[in-house]
Amino acid sequence: MAQDKEHNESNGEETTEEQKKQHIRSYEKLIDQLKQERDSVREAVDHDYREARRYVRSHPEEGVLFAFAGGLALGFILGKLSNR
């Protein structure tokens, strides 16, 4: 009877250890997926940033116009929000 109790306790400990190892593997897999996503997003943002800079360099007037219009819109929105 005492041997069965000890066997069940050791078996329970093994199950707990296996569960911990499985959780650690799942966590590591998730971390790897997140790192891949981060790298993918970083590459996309870098690519878009380079394209935007290239466009502004080839069309400087439009770049200034867009920046001016964006500043006006942002100023208008912030002005309206501050008057509330």
Q: What is residue 63's predicted lDDT score, i.e. its pLDDT? A: 85
Provide the residue type at 13 as one letter. Answer: E
Q: What is residue 56's predicted lDDT score, i.e. its pLDDT? A: 84
Distance CA 4, CA 10 (A): 10
Domain layout of the chain by residue ranges? 2-59
Torsion (CA) 7, 10, 11, 12 in degrees, nearest 10: 120
Task: Note down pLDDT in tens along the chain; length 84 residues.
Answer: 545 555 555 566 778 889 999 999 999 999 999 999 999 999 999 999 999 889 889 999 998 999 999 999 999 999 999 887
Q: What is residue 52's predicted lDDT score, i.e. its pLDDT? A: 87
